[in-house]
């Protein structure tokens, strides 16, 4: 890949009734320290609000900084879901990038607010040899969670930090070394155009399309990295637009925080066993595709350990 900060890229955004959120996202993208005009492919789907008018105003506001490409589509009811919308946005981004195989598609959501270093940090992660770069999900400080839900969220962060420490100690991966986080969702997910085309793009499924895209790319040998300096603010709203999306996760977190029963998570011994399994598979020179298929067939980990929550 070329010099950090000069790789061609396109930010890809599915948007449904996001007239209030899109200006915040586009302002943040325009404020990036990434040089040049930044292409943004927005798939406005099944929308009944003023999103299209808002985007026309944003086009004028950021003329010369953002090149905003809008696709307006009305999916049939059975196809009006996250997989179709994100897939359309990323496929359009791929068209705009043309034949530059090392170009980068960057997925985000309409309710995200990335920091100014977001795109340059993604490009730096790619320049170190990654084919996919996941961004850490941070609850936007401008929008607060209920106190008990916020406490639970912090406890989950500590839990996943320990899981990553276990994985790094037992089965370190050369292209994803610490310090790293563990998130790779549609709110901040970058993939080279080569890897995107090799894996067939975004699966047209109702939910979980971002994770399915990652697994399909990894199965093709793509290298997934989680640099600690790649992150994005996201809204903790509970009234999201996509079935199975982050808003539903936030709603479950709020409900769990309001309850009295402890939240159960897999014991750390299960994660140690899983990391040892992965290390054994690598020692056998298992192909990436075989590892992805074999891990999907493993029994799910039991949720048998109460999450440690600090007051």
For 235, the token pair is 């809204």
Residue 144 pLDDT: 80
> pLDDT confidence of 310, banded at 50, 70, 90?
low
Question: Which pLDDT value is given to residue 2?
Answer: 40
Query: For residue 110, how many other CB atoms are within 10 A of its CB?
Result: 23
The rounded distance, in Å, linking the Cα atoms of 229 and 112 is 16
pLDDT of residue 1: 37
- What pLDDT was estimated at residue 126? 97
Report residue 241's pLDDT band, with 50, 70 and 90 as the boundaries.
low
For the chain, what is the mean pLDDT? Answer: 93
Q: Which domains does the chain have, with CATH numbers?
A: 9-260 (3.90.550.10), 264-303 (no CATH)
Q: Read off the pLDDT of residues 262-293 as tens digits, 9 standing for 90 and up.
A: 889 999 999 999 999 999 999 999 999 999 99
**One-letter-per-residue 3-state SS of the chain:** CCCCCCCCEEEEEEECCCCCCHHHHHHHHHCCCCCCCEEEEEEEECCCCCHHHHHHHHHHHCCCCEEEEEEEECCCHHHCCHHHHHHHHHHHHHHHHCCCCCCEEEECCCCEECCCCHHHHHHHHHHCCCCEEECEEEECCCCCCCHHHHHHHHHHHHHHHHHHHHHHHHCCCCCCCCCECCCCCCCCEEEEHHHHHHHCCCCCCCCCHHHHHHHHHHHCCCCEECECCCEEEECCCCCCCCCCCHHHHHHHHHHHHHCCCCCEECCHHHHHHHHHHHHHHHHCCCCHHHHHHHHHCCCCCCCCEECCCCC
Percent of the chain exceeding pLDDT 70 equals 93
Comparing 25-29, 212-216, 257-261, which segment has the lowest mean pLDDT?
Answer: 257-261
Of 24 and 151, the one with more pLDDT = 24
pTM above 0.85, yes or no: yes
pLDDT in tens, 153-188: 899 999 999 999 999 999 999 999 999 999 999 999
Pairwise pLDDT comparison (254 vs 16), residue with the higher score: 16
Label residue 311 by pLDDT band (50, 70, 90).
low
Q: How far apart are CA 311 and CA 303, in angstroms?
A: 22
Residue 248: its pLDDT value, please? 72
- From CA 198, how far away is CA 311, in angstroms rounded? 47
Mean predicted confidence (pLDDT) in 215-232: 98
Tell me: pLDDT of 62 over 50: yes
Question: Is residue 32 over pLDDT 60?
Answer: yes
């Amino acid at each position: 890949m070329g010099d950090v900060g000069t790789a061609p890229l396109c930010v890809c955004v599915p948007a449904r009734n996001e007239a209030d959120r899109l200006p915040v996202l586009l302002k943040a993208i325009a404020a990036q320290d990434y040089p040049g005009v930044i292409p943004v492919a927005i798939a406005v789907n099944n929308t009944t609000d003023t999103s299209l008018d808002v985007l026309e105003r944003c086009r004028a506001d950021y003329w010369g900084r953002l090149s905003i490409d809008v696709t307006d589509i009305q999916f049939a009811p059975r196809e009006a879901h996250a997989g179709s919308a994100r897939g359309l946005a990323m496929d359009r981004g791929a068209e705009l990038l043309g034949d530059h195989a090392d170009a980068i598609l960057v997925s985000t959501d309409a309710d995200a607010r990335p920091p100014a270093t977001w795109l340059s940090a993604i490009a730096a992660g790619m320049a170190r040899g990654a084919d996919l770069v996941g961004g850490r999900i941070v609850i936007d400080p401008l929008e607060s969670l209920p106190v008990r839900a916020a406490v639970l969220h912090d406890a989950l962060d500590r839990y996943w930090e320990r899981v990553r420490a276990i994985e790094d100690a037992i089965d370190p991966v050369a292209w994803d070394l610490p310090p790293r986080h563990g998130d790779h969702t549609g709110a901040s997910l970058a993939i080279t155009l080569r890897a995107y085309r090799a894996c067939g793009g975004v699966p047209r499924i109702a939910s979980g399309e971002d994770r399915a895209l990652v697994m399909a790319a990894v199965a093709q040998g793509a290298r997934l990295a989680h640099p600690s300096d790649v992150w994005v603010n996201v809204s903790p709203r509970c009234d999201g637009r996509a079935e199975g999306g982050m808003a539903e996760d936030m709603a479950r977190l709020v409900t769990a925080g309001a309850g009295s029963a402890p939240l159960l998570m897999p014991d750390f011994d299960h994660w140690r066993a899983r990391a040892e399994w992965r290390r054994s598979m690598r020692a056998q020179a298992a192909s990436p595709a075989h590892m992805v298929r074999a891990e999907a067939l493993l029994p799910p980990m039991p949720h048998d350990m109460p999450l440690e929550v600090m007051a």
